């Protein structure tokens, strides 16, 4: 059910073009707000704990801004806030967005002829009832050998600096070198459609409760 055809509104708490595209493909209309949090200040040992903590922190930051502006009191509609986070796990190490050209090159060279896991969380918060439903999924991506000139082109375009692990699966330069994806491609791109739809329904129709995350992989 698209938001434009229903009684609830959607806010996507992300500036990610991939997440915006995925949510639009699901048939939803939405507005965009960004959290602007210091993601590096939030550290967890396990990747699933990190992505769930970051999605919660993003939701908290956006809700605080909405409350301070009085926007929540002015709107009688049910409004759902969707936040998400994604990390790449390579040889047991969590990778977020690369911080330098050298790091980006190291990341992509590591994937060449190898594989990496992607762990992504989604949190849907009902701003009217307080219900907060979350979960995470994972997927594996296997790569063919990636030529040096392709790595150079990706870095020149600045692509790796925009995404977790420097890994933009859907980019035309990257896609030909993806051998296989084990799991949902949209999880790799930043927003699992099936998980997001499930959590939207739960946040709409279940009473308010503290946020809980489940693994549905």
Q: Active-site residues: which are they?
A: 85
Q: Per the structure block, which two tokens stand in for 121?
A: 């969380």
In angstroms, what CA-CA distances link 87 with 23, 102, 138?
A: 19, 19, 10
Q: Which residues does 27 contact at the CB level (< 8 Å), separation at least 6?
A: 1, 2
Q: Per the structure block, which two tokens stand in for 105?
A: 């090159």
Whole-angstrom distance between the N-terminal and C-terminal Cα of the chain? 24
Using alpha carbons, select from 100, 181, 109 the residue that is nearest to residue 149: 109
Contact call for residues 118 and 126 (beta carbons, < 8 A):
no
Phi and psi at residue 99, to the nearest 5°: -95, -5
């Amino acid at each position: 059910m698209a938001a434009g055809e229903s009684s609830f509104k959607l806010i996507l708490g992300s500036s990610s073009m991939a997440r915006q595209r995925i949510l639009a493909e699901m048939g939803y209309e939405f507005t965009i707000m960004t959290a602007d949090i210091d993601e590096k200040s939030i550290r967890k040992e396990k990747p699933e704990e990190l992505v769930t903590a970051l999605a919660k922190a993003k939701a908290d930051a956006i809700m605080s801004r909405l409350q301070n502006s009085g926007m929540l009191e002015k709107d009688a509609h049910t409004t759902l806030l969707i936040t998400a986070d994604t990390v790449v796990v390579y040889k047991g190490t969590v990778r977020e967005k690369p911080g330098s050209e050298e790091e980006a090159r190291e990341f992509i060279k590591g994937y060449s002829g190898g594989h990496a896991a992607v762990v992504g969380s989604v949190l849907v918060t009902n701003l009217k009832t307080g219900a907060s439903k979350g979960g995470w999924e994972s997927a594996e991506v296997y790569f063919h050998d990636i030529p040096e000139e392709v790595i150079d082109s990706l870095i020149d375009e600045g692509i790796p600096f925009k995404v977790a692990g420097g890994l933009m699966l859907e980019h035309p330069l990257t896609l030909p070198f993806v051998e296989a994806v084990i799991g949902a491609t949209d999880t790799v791109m930043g927003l699992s459609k099936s998980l997001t739809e499930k959590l939207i329904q739960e946040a709409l129709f279940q009473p308010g409760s503290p946020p809980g995350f489940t693994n549905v992989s």
